[in-house]
Structure 1
Amino acid sequence: MPGKPVRRVVVVGGGTAGWMAAAMLASRLPAGRVGIAVVESPEIGIVGVGEATIPPILDFNRLLGIDEDELVRRTEGTYKLGIKFRDWREPGHSYFHPFGSYGAPIGGLSFHQHWLRTREGRLGEYSLPQVAAYAGKFSRPSDDPRSVLSKMSYALHFDASLYAGFLRERAIADGAVHVEGRIVDVRRDGQSGDVDSLVLQDGRVMAGDLFLDCSGFRGLLIEQALGTGYEDWSHWLPMDRAVAVPCAKTGEPTPFTRSTATGAGWRWRIPLQHRTGNGHVYCSSFLDDDSAERQLIEGLDAPALAQPRRLTFTTGRRKLSWNHNVIALGLASGFIEPLESTSIHLVQQGVQTLMALFPSASIEPAEVAQYNRLMQQDYERVRDFVILHYKHTLRRDTPFWRAVAAMDVPDSLASRLEVFRSHGRIILEPGELFTETSWAAVLLGQGPAPRGHDPQADAFPEELIRQQLQRMRGLIQRGADAMPSHASFLARGR
């Protein structure tokens, strides 16, 4: 028996996830065909500590027709060319995970294979985003494939609460309705089990055909109402606490995020125009809350601007992202620590996958199953890449690092590591989020190095390859030298 058509979408919770969803729905769905309401309680706080993104956010913003200069101004944003990792391989060592690519393939073989064979220069010298980041430079990519600037890729840092507010304005302008109120009851259909309506504290009833649960960790609909279940990944990613605090800015903001490994986790530093975001993610089995907060405060560049906020979480994902007529987005769908700035991206994936499968009439079981399969795949691929940072390292200096080095990892990651260890090969499946450059950056940046390289590299005269690599380094350095400073590029857009 066919279900009822989707004519009313109710988004539960505002914040970044809720307003990303509402803005996309209101912008892309035919006007007047589907009503969109966002129910947001002013009494419920928003986690809102995520301030760093990865390059796909640019595509999301373009789909919404957002002017990037305006967005950066409105959100106190800065540009991001990658992440600097300190003390991950071992204390005192640093490396950079750049956006874009390393060098260029030679003879159809991945660039890093030629570098593994010759070790000509440092790997980071072949990344224009990394060279530019360390020099405090920034420029948008060139459309001319002959220009070295065509190799640029970037993302954004922004104040997440300001981003949510910016999207709220756009969503409402496109027809979404903003409803303030606290949900006190969830009513379900007696036959189908679908969510039928929400009851607000003042007695209003919000009926809907499709509900998006953006209520955060508590999962008001997906878990509390539907009992979907949660897949716990803490045996692979044991970090279960975070403390976050902003501090005053010092100097000009750097065009990169910084991640510094600690004795039982890591600290983030995210530069914005008006302040710097900081946080400490850690495992409570190896570090107590007060010590974690003290380490964070002691490591700040400048005085704190607010009281530290403590968060508790369990890494993992809902067993179903779409259950009955409820789709979970953001923290309601799952949580993977923000080591590679994927939190907002997973919201984006959820929203764009929904748009690709949005019901033209009733909700179809086959499309629900496809959505769940795709989102499971996205979460698991991010999970594996984050686990890589803990497993593939030389650190053994604290009980925490010894524990994660000894842990078993998912088979999907274990097989990749084994393939890499022999000949440095990085095999990707279609549609993966993290590129060959991303995997190479972490695998080669944190060690241990592979035992060898692809034998195909030996088919090329070594001296010729060295000359080509030297030319690449020179071209990249000249390209970075010609860029404006990050600070002056920001000033142009104000």
Structure 2
Amino acid sequence: MNAVKKVVILGGGTAGWLAAALLKKVLGSAIELELVESDDIGTVGVGEATIPPIRLVNQVLGISEADFFRETKATVKLAIKFENWKTQGESYFHTFGAPGRSLAFCHFHHLWQRAKKFGEQPSLWEYDLNYLCALAGKFAPINSKDAILELPYAYHFDAGLYARFLRTYSERMGVVRTEGKVVSVEQYTNGDVKHLVLEGAKIVSADLFIDCSGFKGLLIQDTLNTGFDDWSHLLPCDRAVAVPSERFEHTLPYTRSIAHSAGWQWRIPLQHRNGNGLVFSSAHYSEQQAADLLMSNLDSKALAEPRVIRFKTGRRRKQWYRNVVSIGLSSGFLEPLESTSIHLIQSGIVRLIQLFPHHGNTAGLQAEYNKQSEVEFTQIRDFLVLHYHVNQRQDSQFWRDLQQLTIPDSLRHKIAIFRENGALFRDQNDLFLESSWLQVMIGQGIEPKDYHPMANNFEGQQLREMLEGIRRIKQEPLAKLPSHDEFLRRIMAS
């Protein structure tokens, strides 16, 4: 129960340096903070797409958006475009926005569903400002008090540059960086980690250790053996092959996710290059086949040789155990289909700050941390499984097998009630809003049999006019917004 005065972070990269920056910024002189990493150990470094909460993290750190764009070669992300996921040749968007304008007890899509009964109706996304801007290649922050004109956004950025930026920030704040490889881990008789022994016999001690050692989990798994919940039966992709390529002439303000016969390909636009990768099942593709498929489907010239990343989908059973907290890949891994990897780093650090054991480790703090972590990982897992399970492809065994999955009861229930009458309920603390679940379900072809009775309060012509008015309001900002590339030029010059 000794007070936590010193914290040691094992591992750099985005996880380590983001943990260092946030902990030092929030806790300040209350803790001494040291980060141990080795230049000889690489990082995965392909997490180049994010979701909107990263903007709040940057605000907490006091990082200006202009500095962030310059230092990380960032671009804007309004959405993900899913191509070939429902069937080959079809596509849909999952945007950060919400379609239309909802009523107090009735989501907009119920009105849209009823309007379809009166004849031809624009797609759901025609009422979504994020979609309209993504399609037009336009962006600038919109300052409006009307929620209907909100334009939520995130970033694409170079993860290596982001880690470097955060390192500079952290060291200026007083974080001490120690270079070295861990050769052994010493423990107290009760099992807590006592200190790290580095090459050259250097000893690094702490009251609390944060494991950011990547997939290996040097402290949380190799030392404390907390166990792992394997979710490969639900998300069978277990490999990725990644390669950078030359940037496009026009920079898209969205990520592309392109389904292939046994996996999917990402295309992420940055200012200085493009990020490309293929997530796949090794039971269906060899690593060479996957690399060949990726290289033959690049939109620009490759800048390096493709590299393979091997992973297992799942989570550590205890992400905080004894005096070790795992953050980032050491805590578990969910494939980057919805760009949640960096968010899970952020949320893990924020959770630790909220439950920080200032007066010493307690079972209660650990239990609450682990409970919240499990719920978060499980909810994201269900959302990812949704994309795969409700596909309608018949061109490969991979997709047909996914249609036959025995999915978790939590996901089965959510799909079932949406099929009945379009009902959507956000679970407590679910990262994804109702609008996210709606777009994926509609995009993947799940059509509700009915709609909310409040939609019947509007007659046909009245309903059409109301929806057309909402559609016009959503389209109005487009004429005033600059192109995405023009926005980037302006902010880089500011």
TM over 0.5: yes
Deviation track 1:119-167 (CA, whole Å, cap 9, x = no partner) reads 331111111011001100001131x313754x11000000001001111
Shift, 1:107, TM fit:
5.3
Instruction: Map 1:4-403; keep pairs closer than 5 Å.
Output: 4-31=2-29, 33-106=30-103, 108-119=105-116, 120-142=121-143, 144-146=144-146, 149=149, 151-190=150-189, 192-403=190-401
Structure 2 CA distance, aligned partners of 1:135 and 1:166? 32
Does the CA-based 8 Å contact 2:101-2:148 persist in structure 1?
Answer: no
Distance in 2 (CA, whole Å) between partners of 1:326 and 1:147 is 42
Contact in 1 for aligned 2:248/2:269 (Cα 8 Å): no
Residues matched between the structures, number:
488
Deviation track 1:390-440 (CA, whole Å, cap 9, x = no partner) reads 011211221000000011111111110111111111111232110111001
Determine the C-alpha separation between the residues in 1 that align with 2:103 and 2:214. Answer: 47
1:442 maps to what in 2? Answer: 440
Where 1:381 maps in the other structure, the secondary structure is helix
Give CA-to-partner distance per residue, 1:361-417, whole Å, 9 cap, x none.
111210110000001111001100000000112112210000000111111111101
AA in 2 matched with 1:81: L
Amino acid at match of 2:177: H
Secondary structure of residue in 2 paired with 1:493 = helix
Find the residue that maps to 1:440 and give its secondary structure: helix
Structure 2 counterpart of 1:136, one-letter code:
G
**Cα distance in 1 for residues equivalent to 2:322 and 2:32:** 19
Return 5+ residue gaps in structure 1 as ranges. none
Cα contact 1:393–1:448 (8 A) shared by 2 = no
What is the one-letter code of the residue matched to 2:28?
Answer: P
CA distance in 2, matches of 1:369, 1:107: 37
Which SS does the other structure have where 1:184 is aligned? strand
Code of the aligned partner of 1:44: I
1:48 deviates by 0.3
Aligned residues: percent identity?
45
CA contact (8 A) 1:141 1:153 kept: no
**Residue 410 of structure 1: aligned partner:** 408
Per-residue CA deviation, residues 287-315 of structure 1 (Å, 9 max, x unaligned), is 22111111100110111101101011110
CA RMSD, 1 decimal: 1.1
| TM superposition score normalised by structure 2 | 0.97
Distance, in Å, in 1 between the alignment partners of 2:82 and 2:156 is 17
Whether the 8 Å CA contact 2:100–2:148 is kept in 1: the answer is: no
Runs of 5+ unmatched residues, structure 2? none
- In structure 2, what is the Cα distance between the partners aligned to 1:402 and 1:69? 46
Partner deviation per Cα, 1:423-458 (whole Å, 9 max, x = no partner): 111111232110111001100011131222223322
Contact 2:73–2:158 (CA under 8 A) maintained in structure 1: yes
Could you tell me how far apart the structure 2 residues matched to 1:429 and 1:49 are? 30
Deviations 1:246-283 (A, max 9, x none): 00012121100000001001000000000000000011
Contact 1:394 1:448 in 2 (8 A): no
Q: Could you list the runs of 4 or more consecutive aligned residues of structure 1 that deviate by over 6 angstroms after TM superposition? A: none
- Give yes or no for contact 1:247–1:278 (8 Å, CA) kept in 2: yes
